[in-house]
Structure 1
């Protein structure tokens, strides 16, 4: 067995150990005991290379399980205050999420800085990243609902408690580089809102930024009925499709491969910065860049190795994303689809003539959608009977929407009129997509829940 193959299996075993500990509680004592037994066995079969290889794979699996355990706190300092109403001062450590009538703030308090609290407050006054605020309300522990492990979902971001209907007052306005990034994101969103009317602007912000605050309940229900909810979940699915399409367009300029590669990297880096550089966006961009790097190096056969390495590195930083971060899962599956399904589909469609890169766009979007479909069915617990048709009609325009949407938001920093000129074709594409979604959502047999 080659060294690269052994390295791949070692990474997969580490990920498997993290996955096992994520889903099944195993005490650290038993893991260390198993590791000790394994060590004794290794010394007993020290000359058998096959036995040593299997021992190494098992050891790395145990290491993955133990590594996950390091991120699960045994005791929570704030737990003794659960059920009590109190007022505390803390800092906002994540960019706030704004809904129609509420805002969601992730706050860290000095007495337990690693135990973050999700605070749900009135929409106004609005707060920002880094603000010092005084939170008044009842501390609660998140409970699962409808089979959804809400506490584990929040814990991936080190959020262990919630405060609903809180009264929040500003103590001191924040500052710093990260706050500037989120302000840039807010301005980027305002540029899109200025250039596009609603609901096209809300749809564009959902696709580009994952911000669904401007999307009406009726439109959100239409997304669900037609199986299109995933397009507003900012993940590797969106970013990778934009990255591949950007790379294809730049390649048409007959530039050197190295120039095309680094220009694509620069565009994605600019997108990440202008959308706030949140961890989910960074992870999605890294997954897309991993695929692009494999193609640039001419190592299509090593795509799986590079993708698994990228995923493993992210899991080392935060192992809880493996089981509880849908965005990470979508990113990985979408890139796998582009790496393995797209070449097969492209070969099947080789007789179809190319026109304005529409075939490549179709192949990329359908391949990514096919890869993430099983996960979407599992997460949303429903089947849209017309999802295949609506996805085929809507998704081929996604690279165009992503690229032109980014152009509108970026040009808005320079010139409103320049952004408006690019916004006209973007508005047409968004209107077409919304029209298709609205039309098919009206069918009574559009979806079946399970």
Structure 2
């Protein structure tokens, strides 16, 4: 294996197979015992092949296969071990109707429009020790990390999306090992403070960000500084986030490799005089550098992107200390492997995927762009390098961005040419001002004024770029199939850039043709679909009928139909222009008769519909309606009262009639 692969690729391939094992563990979700048995089999196979191949001069591929299989099995086991519901002490095994829950607020999350949100670590249920965390929401009170609560209500599972193609928040939270949620009203008491690591970390952050002069900085600027310097984005307004996203500069708001690279350069510059010390100067410099980097990572919340960058630059620093040229790819692979060993579910985090994809692409294509010089002037070449790196990052992450966000900003390269160096200045003056806040308020006000001016330039520039709406393509239909095939095409294109031969050219063309075929095939499939969907909407009944390319939306108010409810469905259907039609009390679809019963609805005798849709809580005797109309299915949409839905469900169960409530099961589809 060592003779056939470059050294820098061995760790990368180990990490790749470990990640594939985690993905397999997620989809298979085997018991820990089964994962352990598979690991033992893989280990036995590896030891047998290793012993057999020791005496062989020419190595056969069996040793490599056994190695990758072993690492793959480690990935599966790692996922199953870290899947918290499989742990004996997980809170979910102790929940009862009258359970009393004790625990601590650990993190404040980004609030919604209606409430604050927190992670809550459960320590006891009915005085029994447990573990695991849930999601808390509160409209009445703002909590902070360390607050101890006793809760007298049972948490509920996080709801899956109730309408087609909506963002699956339950699946997202499951990947964060959070499976339940709870709204705090009058169902809790505060019992004190748990002065844990998160408590002290929150106190330090609040003191640091509170040290900025509020006479100089506005609350909006303070929120931006909190994000840039400490990685806390909770108080950023939705307008600010949307502006940076539209301008292609959303990565600036999250501490990432860019911020750590700038900090690494500044610390090296500041600590360089220590090299002149006769004894242990380089050792002291290394230790201080690592302490500052990891201290900054801890203050910023140890996010995956920060940990990755800090680990990578830590390895680079150690390599410089030992006078060895460390491999960037190895540094990235090791950092990824360490993160996944401690938290395998980070592999499914969008930020984690985007960050590593961009960094790996930049490293792989470095031999291509590092020798490109457009001018004899260093300043011109500096901005050219930023533009080229930005293009590589945007192209490499394009399949992920289109899949997760259904949009792409075309002006991100133009944005980053100014924003990247500006971020360096912001971090420099931000950290300097933060330090001077505790040393000299007079000097802090001077640097703070410069910092405020830089923030205003950043905001003005991103707002100007974001103003070009036509350069941000939104609502792009891009399912997982497109993401996979486009990723293969981009990888092939990257290989061609490094080695433009006839074979790589054919490979690139084949991959792009495969992407086009998948696009045309999927679009043809979607265009030929015929289906009726009853959406879950709380204000009014909404039904869509798709007959090939023709899409009709039926609702009571065609002038103000709920676009948010059906927008994901329109995007997934390649954005056809819907025909808005008034909802009638009787519909036909593929030979099936659908009767809609609302308050004061009157039907002729012997109607005999196949499906009855109950809307706006009609006061009916459902048992009598079933006996008279003899439907096959009863649907209750989101406009009905929940107590009526439960009553109807019991009636249908008694009458052996299929019942579907959209508020519980989600949208109803008829094909």
Bin of the TM-score, shorter chain as denominator length: 0.7 to 0.9
1:154 corresponds in structure 2 to 173
Asked whether the 8 Å contact 1:42–1:52 carries over to 2, the reply is no
1:202 corresponds in structure 2 to 223
Q: Distance in 2 between matches of 1:123 and 1:422?
A: 38
1:114 corresponds in structure 2 to 131
Q: Distance in 2 between matches of 1:209 and 1:385?
A: 29
Q: Deviations over 1:293-320 (max 9, x none)?
A: 4455555462222321222122111111
Residue of 351, 359, 377 corresponding to 1:353 = 377
1:162 CA drift (Å): 0.9
Q: Distance in 2 between matches of 1:169 and 1:70?
A: 33
Q: Is 1:163 paired with 2:182? A: yes
1:210 CA drift (Å): 3.0
1:130 corresponds in structure 2 to 146
Tell me the SS of whatever aligns to 1:10.
helix
Residue of 450, 459, 470 corresponding to 1:434 = 459
Residues 1:149 and 1:37: Cα distance change in structure 2 (over 3 Å): same
Asked whether the 8 Å contact 1:385–1:448 carries over to 2, the reply is yes
Aligned residue pairs total: 444
Q: Distance in 1 between matches of 2:342 and 2:35?
A: 24
**Structure 1 residues not aligned, in runs of 5+:** none
Tell me the SS of whatever aligns to 2:82.
coil
With normalisation by structure 2, the TM-score equals 0.57
Q: Deviations over 1:236-256 (max 9, x none)?
A: 334323234425644887956
Q: Is 1:74 paired with 2:103? A: no
Q: Distance in 2 between matches of 1:362 and 1:403?
A: 22
Tell me the SS of whatever aligns to 2:261.
helix
Residues 1:226 and 1:364: Cα distance change in structure 2 (over 3 Å): closer
Relative to its length, the structure with more helix (as a share) is: 1
Residues 1:431 and 1:159: Cα distance change in structure 2 (over 3 Å): same
1:11 CA drift (Å): 3.9
Q: Deviations over 1:110-153 (max 9, x none)?
A: 126322111011363x3232221133555221234455443443
Residues 1:38 and 1:414: Cα distance change in structure 2 (over 3 Å): closer
1:183 CA drift (Å): 0.3
1:92 CA drift (Å): 1.9
Q: Distance in 1 between matches of 2:76 and 2:402?
A: 28
Residue of 352, 358, 367 corresponding to 1:328 = 352
Q: Deviations over 1:332-362 (max 9, x none)?
A: 345446645567544323745345xx96587
1:425 corresponds in structure 2 to 450
Asked whether the 8 Å contact 1:193–1:201 carries over to 2, the reply is no
1:52 CA drift (Å): 2.8
Residues 1:30 and 1:198: Cα distance change in structure 2 (over 3 Å): closer
Residues 1:277 and 1:316: Cα distance change in structure 2 (over 3 Å): closer
Q: Deviations over 1:202-249 (max 9, x none)?
A: 222222233333333322221222222222123x33432323442564
**Structure 2 residues not aligned, in runs of 5+:** 54-58, 477-671
Asked whether the 8 Å contact 2:375–2:381 carries over to 1, the reply is no
Asked whether the 8 Å contact 2:262–2:424 carries over to 1, the reply is yes
2:210 corresponds in structure 1 to 190
With normalisation by structure 1, the TM-score equals 0.82
Q: What RMSD over aligned residues (CA atoms) do the two structures have, in Å? A: 3.9
Which entry has the higher C-alpha Rg, 1 or 2? 2
Residue of 237, 241, 244 corresponding to 1:216 = 237
